[in-house]
């Protein structure tokens, strides 16, 4: 380490201004090195993930604390020590990698130094989780680690073979079964590269383009302010997939906008929370959980994204339809200042931002490796930014992108590395099969009870957790049982993914609703319950595509077209029934028929579609006469 680096490492909190350039360039160099590792090198996965994890740990402890702004304050003595230990563990892994690659786990003994390094790595990961992900994930990781070490003392089916501390560390740290397993692999490859693409896209000025596009498409429509919020959040979410960050990013602009034109604070917060949450289930990117699904199932990511297209459209159609009928019912007119730039003018000035998005979509559809596709899209984003002088990304701005990308990955790493402890504990103790059998027995081999139990598990485990953590936990616990009941692997994992995302708006701990409530100045629980009401269809769609695979675009063209038509009609009728308005104010019996017709059309099958159409036709006839 240079004298400058040593001086910075041992500086006091009063010298915080000296940390900023050091940490900035540390993050930049780390990102460049990580890009090389992921895209160009042939480094062994264990070493690649060890370098990635220890680099992120070092950056996190030196540069961040949840209670302070990035780089504003210098780290305290404990954080400096943790950063040095993380860097030391990384250096030790690098020096011993040849031995680790050729040893037999649980057969070749670990050295005393290996045991110390392994224990330090686990403790550092757990502290990172505590700081950035929260106590819930930390407690779960510790509980399952304790189960792996002491579960042999339990009676009955939950007992397992004895694992000593060295054997446990061997599995958790020195193989690909624990903290360096599939969850971290996704964070170190797919997530990291797509984060770089997303950050580059918004630094290039695409964020303003998306907001302008939403205004251009929806601002002049009935309830335009709310629709602008939904569309802009959806556009942002499609490329980041993080409900909380999307809610904060777009909510800063859209929530005050909606309040200014007459929406209540809780309404505005709920609208943004619902729209931001949908980013995790809306192609083309869908967030890190979708990449985890690809890793767990072996299904190509592009196939997962294609399957999620129609359910994602239904997700956003529900709040848009509800907000439309609500605006008609309450006579919410579009304010003149809501109107955005004309669509043609907007595209003429910002056409360059469409190129990397289309390129990414095309590369994914042509089976290009998603990591390389994201890298190419990020490079194209930098190139097209030079079309206009005000959006050009020079070396300084590119460095800012690399810096921000490394920092944005910290929370994902905290979630995925600790999830590796959970997954590893399930694997070595056989707990996954035991949970699966228990769920199978509770459901009595009936599909619907198993789905309801899985939904509840996912929503409970997802309270206060990032979507990847909630998905991993439930996928390990419940998916094997669903597959045993005959559900296709894709449908089972997609079912879990949906409810992992929806936990972000489900009270009492709805992280997306909490984020928007803070911006709106509203009660978080009220925002959460309003968000559930706006996103009610999302709680039904997973059940539907389990029974009707055509909703995941699995089936003949006729089956897919019928499923799309009936489900879209069902969503619109359900939204009209919830708001009590279709073409005019609905009477109580019309509202009941709209709700019943919507649900019947959403349920797959000819025997439900026909009565659903009859109910819809009856209400339409009644409403048409009123309007006439």
8-12, 87-91, 246-250, 436-440, range with greatest mean pLDDT: 87-91
- CA dist 477 to 188, 258, 432, Å? 24, 41, 6
The 10s digit of each residue's pLDDT in 365-390 is: 787 788 888 899 999 999 988 888 88
Rounded to whole angstroms, how far apart are CA atoms 272 and 234?
9
Q: Greater confidence, 553 or 19?
A: 553
How big is the chain by its Cα radius of gyration, in Å?
Answer: 25
CA distances (Å), 335 to each of 191, 220, 241, 346, in order? 40, 8, 31, 20
Average pLDDT of the residues of the chain: 83
**How far is residue 294's CA from residue 303's CA, in Å, rounded to a whole number?**
9
When pLDDT is averaged across residues 94-115 and rounded to a whole number, the result is 88
pLDDT value at position 10?
37
Per-residue pLDDT at 6 exceeds 50: no
pLDDT for the residue 554: 87
Q: Please, which pLDDT band fits residue 41 given cuts at 50, 70 and 90?
A: confident
pLDDT at residue 510 in the model? 79
The SS3 call for residue 581 is: strand
Query: What letter would DSSP give residue 347?
Result: H
Q: What are the residues whose beta carbons fall under 8 Å from the beta carbon of 567, sequence distance 6 or more? A: 310, 314, 541, 544, 551, 601, 602
- Report yes or no: 273 and 522 within 8 Å, Cβ to Cβ: no
pLDDT at 72 over 80: no
> Which residues are paired to 585 by β-bridges?
581
Reply yes or no on whether the pLDDT at 12 is more than 80: no
Percent of all residues in the chain with a pLDDT value above 90, rounded to a whole number? 23
Residue 223: per-residue pLDDT: 66
User: How high is the pLDDT of residue 11?
Assistant: 40
* Separation CA 353–CA 393 (nearest Å): 13
Task: Please check whether residue 457 is in contact with residue 495, taking contact to mean a CB–CB distance below 8 angstroms.
Answer: no
Q: Is 509 left (phi over 0), alpha (psi -120 to 50) or beta?
A: beta
* pLDDT computed for residue 437 by the predictor: 74
Amino acid 500: pLDDT: 87
pLDDT greater than 70 at residue 606: yes
pTM above 0.75, yes or no: yes
In degrees, to the nearest 5, what angle opens at C-alpha 243 toward C-alphas 239 and 248? 95
Cα 374 to chain centroid distance, Å, stands at: 17
pLDDT at residue number 593: 94
**Does residue 338 have a pLDDT over 60?**
no
pLDDT of residue 294 exceeding 60, the answer is: yes
pLDDT of residue 333: 56
CA–CA distance, 266 with 259 (Å, rounded to integer): 10
Residue 611's pLDDT band (cuts 50, 70, 90): very high
Q: Minimum mean pLDDT among 242-256, 265-279, 511-525: which range?
A: 242-256
Put residue 548 in one of left, alpha, beta given phi > 0 → left and psi -120 to 50 → alpha.
beta
* HSE-up (13 A, CA, CB side) for residue 560: 11
């Amino acid at each position: 380490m240079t004298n400058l680096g040593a001086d910075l490492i041992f500086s006091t909190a009063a010298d915080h201004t000296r940390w900023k350039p050091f940490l900035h360039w540390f993050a930049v160099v780390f990102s460049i090195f990580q890009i090389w590792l992921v895209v160009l090198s042939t480094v062994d996965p264990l070493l690649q993930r060890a370098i990635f994890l220890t680099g992120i740990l070092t950056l996190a402890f030196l540069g961040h604390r949840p209670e302070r702004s990035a780089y504003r304050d210098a780290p305290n003595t404990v954080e400096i020590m943790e950063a040095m230990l993380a860097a030391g563990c990384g250096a030790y892994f690098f020096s011993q990698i040849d031995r680790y690659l050729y040893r037999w786990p649980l057969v070749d003994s670990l050295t005393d130094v290996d045991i110390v390094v392994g224990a330090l790595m686990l403790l550092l990961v757990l502290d990172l989780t505590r700081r950035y992900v929260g106590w819930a994930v930390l407690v779960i990781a510790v509980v399952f680690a304790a189960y792996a070490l002491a579960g042999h003392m339990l009676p009955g089916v939950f007992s397992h073979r004895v694992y000593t501390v060295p054997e446990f560390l061997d599995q958790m740290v020195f193989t690909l079964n624990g903290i360096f397993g599939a969850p971290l692999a996704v964070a170190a490859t797919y997530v990291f590269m797509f984060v770089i693409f997303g950050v580059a896209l918004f630094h290039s000025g695409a964020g303003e383009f998306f907001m302008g596009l939403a205004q251009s498409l929806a601002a002049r429509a009935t309830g335009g302010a709310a629709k602008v919020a939904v569309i802009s959040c959806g556009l942002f979410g499609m490329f980041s997939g993080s409900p909380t960050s999307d809610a904060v990013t777009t909510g800063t602009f859209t929530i005050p906008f909606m309040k200014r034109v007459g929406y209540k604070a809780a309404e505005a917060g709920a609208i943004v929370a619902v729209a931001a949450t949908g980013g995790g289930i809306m192609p083309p990117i869908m967030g890190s959980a979708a990449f985890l699904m690809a890793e767990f199932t072996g299904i190509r990511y592009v196939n997962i994204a294609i399957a999620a297209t129609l359910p994602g459209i239904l997700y956003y159609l529900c709040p848009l339809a509800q907000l439309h009928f609500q605006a008609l019912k309450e006579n919410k007119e579009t304010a003149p200042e809501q109107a955005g730039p004309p669509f043609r003018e907007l595209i003429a000035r910002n056409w360059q931002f469409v190129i990397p998005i289309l390129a990414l979509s095309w590369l994914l559809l042509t089976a290009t490796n998603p990591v390389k596709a994201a890298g190419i899209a990020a490079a194209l984003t930098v190139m097209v930014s030079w079309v206009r002088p005000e959006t050009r990304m020079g070396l300084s701005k590119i460095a800012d992108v690399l810096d921000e990308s490394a920092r944005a990955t910290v929370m994902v790493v905290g979630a995925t590395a600790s999830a590796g402890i959970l997954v590893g504990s399930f694997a070595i103790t056989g707990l996954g099969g035991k949970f699966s059998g228990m769920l199978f027995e509770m459901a009595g081999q009936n599909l619907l009870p198993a789905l309801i139990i899985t939904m509840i598990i996912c929503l409970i485990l997802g309270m206060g957790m990032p979507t990847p953590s909630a998905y991993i936990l439930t996928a390990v616990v419940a998916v094997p049982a669903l597959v045993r009941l005959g559900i296709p692997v894709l449908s089972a994992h997609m079912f879990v993914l949906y409810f992992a995302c929806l936990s972000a708006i489900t009270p009492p701990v709805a992280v997306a609703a909490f984020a928007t409530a803070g911006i709106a100045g509203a009660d978080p629980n009220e925002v959460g319950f309003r968000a559930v009401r706006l996103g009610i269809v999302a709680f039904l769609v997973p059940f539907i595509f389990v029974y009707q695979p055509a909703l995941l675009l699995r089936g003949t063209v006729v089956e897919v077209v019928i499923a799309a038509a009936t489900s879209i009609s069902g969503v619109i009728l359900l939204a009209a029934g919830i708001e009590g308005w279709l073409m005019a104010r609905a009477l109580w019996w019309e509202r009941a028929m709209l709700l019943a017709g919507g649900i019947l059309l959403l349920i797959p099958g000819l025997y439900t579609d026909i009565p659903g159409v009859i109910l819809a036709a009856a209400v339409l006839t009644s409403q048409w006469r009123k309007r006439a």
